[in-house]
Amino acid sequence: MYNALAQAANVFADVTGRKAIILLADGLDNRSTITADEVIQQIDPSGLSISTIGLGDPSQLGVSNAALDEQALRSLADRAGGAFGYANDVESLRGLYEQYGRALQSEYVITYTSPSALRDGLNRSLSVSLSGTTGQAAAEYNPGGLIPEVARRNTLPLFVGALAVLAALLFAPTLVARGADLISKLPKGKLLKKGARVRLQEESQPRIRLR
């Protein structure tokens, strides 16, 4: 089964547009030389999907060759971007093929490139509506990133400025204390600078007033 899927993927390798494989099988594989993981790796870059239809009796798994390995077919379809269906008669089989055909003919593939390409770990919300229809879809994606990124630019001036602010905050209490001590030692009426004079008032809470 997996060898057949790999061969089908090779057939589609040079085909452009929407590509899909519908696998009708019992899910029991005992002769393939490749695994399901290798099939998934082969089809992943090409945008090829695999849908599966189970044909067999689930109750006979491990008992006879008429069995159906539904779990294997479901897992394959889920990993390959397809759907799983079960058919136990002609009508259900015909219905599944018609259902898959309608789904493939009504699919839209939309590619959107965000103007913000930073891997900042923030969720981005997208909403899509089709002109002339009432259909609308919404989705979220996360670009990932353990450490938030910033736009590439010369950050040296910003770093130096932030460092200067931190240094000023570090020494600010000492400078304020020394300034207050110097002011308290000035004689009454001494000019601090042109147009500014210190006047001490006798109050219950002495304070310094500049004028």
Structural domains in the chain, sorted by start:
2-105 (3.40.50.410), 113-151 (no CATH), 156-210 (no CATH)
Would the pTM count as exceeding 0.75? no
- The full DSSP string for 143-183 is ---SS-----S--HHHHHHHHHHHHHHHHHHHHHHHHHHHH
Mind listing the pLDDT tens digit for each residue in 95-152? 999 999 888 887 776 777 778 777 777 788 888 887 766 667 787 877 777 666 666 6
> What pLDDT is attached to residue 150?
64
∠ CA 14-4-46, nearest 5°, is 30
Nearest to residue 83, comparing CAs of 99, 62, 68, 95? 99
> What pLDDT is attached to residue 154?
61
Residue ranges for the chain with pLDDT beneath 50: 190-198, 200-206, 208-211
> What pLDDT is attached to residue 140?
81
> What pLDDT is attached to residue 210?
44
- Give the distance between the most distant pair of CA atoms in the chain: 112
> What pLDDT is attached to residue 124?
83
Across the chain, what does the average pLDDT equal? 79
Q: How far apart are CA 137 and CA 175, in angstroms?
A: 61
